[in-house]
Structure 1
Amino acid sequence: MMINVDGIRFHLEVSGEGFPLVLLHGFTGDSSTWASFFDKWGSHSRLIVPDIIGHGRTESPDDLKHYQIESMAHSLHTILEKTGVHQIDLLGYSMGGRLALTFAVMFPNRVRKLILESASPGLETEREREFRRMNDAKLAKFIVDEGLNSFVDYWEDISLFQTMKRLPATVQNKIKEQRLKNSPQGLANSLLGMGTGSQPSWWKELGGLNCEVLLLTGEEDLKFGHIAKAMAARIKNAKWMIVENSGHAIHVEESEKFGTIVSDFLSNKL
């Protein structure tokens, strides 16, 4: 279905029955990221799965203000209002995890349970953020100048995703096909507007979270494991789980295990 928010058409999938669970994909992904979990999670949750701005079938406007992470959180709030949903469980992966955390900070009464897969609260210092903004601006220019095919080849080869090369070729090809369906301008604007260097740092806000929080990191993703350890120390109601034989994209690399962990957390079995 399509929902208009401030003149921008957002695509979302809605399925399943039960307490609402919003699923937020990562950079270069879309709602189909979560399709393999629809049957399992849809048996206990009403799934609300948007394409984040600049991705999938959601529109990719030129104005960068729409891509600011707080703006996207407001858009998500409007989507929930228009679908008649008040309180939610919220799961986000990587960029979608940063958006999920942003939403939980901005609208704390809306979130019952928060699941963050391979996510961060942003960068703590302005110096770190400035350096990251410069790198993201170079990547955005690369997408526009060299095209989506060249960028996706580069993106899939960065160290963060090396463990995904162990996946069957059919799975890797399916992921690449999905990534190549995105708008080059949408991805470039996402880097500029919603990148880790552009968003606020939420480290100081972590102690104010009152919802239950589950942090998930892959055993081989040492960078985000370090971040999750620091987050868990600041969040009152946090559980942190390390998933064996996995890197950054746990939901792809260990999908069956990931699906069960999420279901167990939502049903208070963890």
Structure 2
Amino acid sequence: MKIVVSDITYYVEIRGKGSSLLFLHGFTGSSQNWLPIVSMFEDTYQCILIDILGHGRTDSPANSKLYDIEKVSRDIISILDELLIDNVTLIGYSMGGRLALALAINYPQRINKLILESSSPGLLLESERNIRSENDLKLANDIRKNGIEWFVNYWEQIPLFETQHSLSTEVKQAIRKQRLNNKTVGLVNSLIGMGTGSQPSYWDRLGSLEIPVLLICGEVDQKFCEIAKQMSKKLPNAKVEKITGVGHAIHVEHPKFFGKIVSEFL
């Protein structure tokens, strides 16, 4: 279905009935990335999938300020209001995890539990955020100049996704096709407006988050496992699950095990 919020049309898909699970995908992804996981939960839960601004079938506006992570989190609350859903459990991956954390911190009364996969509260120091913003802007300009296919070729080869090279040809082709379906302006503005360098740091606000939080990371993805470890020290009610033999995208590389861990937490 399509839901209009602040003159922006969001693509939303609902599967199953029961308590609500809201899934938020990563950068270059779409709601469809979650379907193998959703198939494990839709018999007992209402699964809500949203294409985040600039991705999939949601609009990709030209104004990068509309992609501000706290503005987008307000949009998602408006979508839940439209659907008459009072509270949800959030499952967010990477960029979607940062967005999920923004939602949980700013709208704690609407969130039951929080599951973050390979995600972070942003960068602690302003100097780090400035450097990251400059790098994101450079990459955004390269995408604008060279186009989506160039970027997808580049993105597939970054070290973060090295473990995905062992996925089946069918899965890799499906991921590539979905990435290529994104719009240049959407990815460019997501980097500028919702990138790690442009979002607020939530490190100092983690202590206020009293709901149960599950932090999932892949053993090979050492950077995000260390972030999860540091986050768990600040969160009052957190559990860390480090998954052996996988990297950044656990739900893609080992979906059945990911589903099992989430099910046990729920």
- TM-score relative to the length of structure 2: 0.99
Q: How does 1:85-100 map to 2 (within 5 A)?
A: 85-100=85-100
Partner of 1:175: 175
Amino acid in the other structure paired with 1:250: I
Aligned equivalents of 1:211 and 1:147: distance in 2? 41
Aligned equivalents of 2:43 and 2:229: distance in 1? 32
Aligned equivalents of 1:38 and 1:158: distance in 2? 27
Question: Per-residue CA shift, 1:187-221, capped at 9, x if unaligned?
Answer: 00000000000000000000110110000000100
Aligned equivalents of 2:36 and 2:255: distance in 1? 9
Aligned equivalents of 1:23 and 1:200: distance in 2? 22
Q: How does 1:1-270 map to 2 (within 5 A)?
A: 1-266=1-266
Amino acid in the other structure paired with 1:90: L
Secondary structure, in 3 states, of the residue corresponding to 1:152?
helix
Root-mean-square deviation (Å):
0.6
Whether contact under 8 Å (2:88, 2:110) holds in the other structure is yes
What is the aligned length? 266
User: What are the ranges of 5 or more consecutive residues in structure 1 without an aligned counterpart?
Assistant: none
Whether contact under 8 Å (1:4, 1:10) holds in the other structure is yes
- TM-score relative to the length of structure 1: 0.98
Question: Per-residue CA shift, 1:18-50, capped at 9, x if unaligned?
Answer: 110000000000000101122211122101100
Aligned equivalents of 1:12 and 1:244: distance in 2? 33
Secondary structure, in 3 states, of the residue corresponding to 1:13?
strand
Runs of 4+ in 1 over 4 A off after TM superposition: none
Amino acid in the other structure paired with 1:248: H
Secondary structure, in 3 states, of the residue corresponding to 1:3?
strand
Amino acid in the other structure paired with 1:108: P
User: What are the ranges of 5 or more consecutive residues in structure 2 without an aligned counterpart?
Assistant: none
Question: Per-residue CA shift, 1:220-262, capped at 9, x if unaligned?
Answer: 0000001000000110100000011110000001111001111
Identity among equivalent positions (%) equals 49
Whether contact under 8 Å (2:87, 2:109) holds in the other structure is yes
Aligned equivalents of 1:39 and 1:182: distance in 2? 24
Aligned equivalents of 1:114 and 1:212: distance in 2? 6
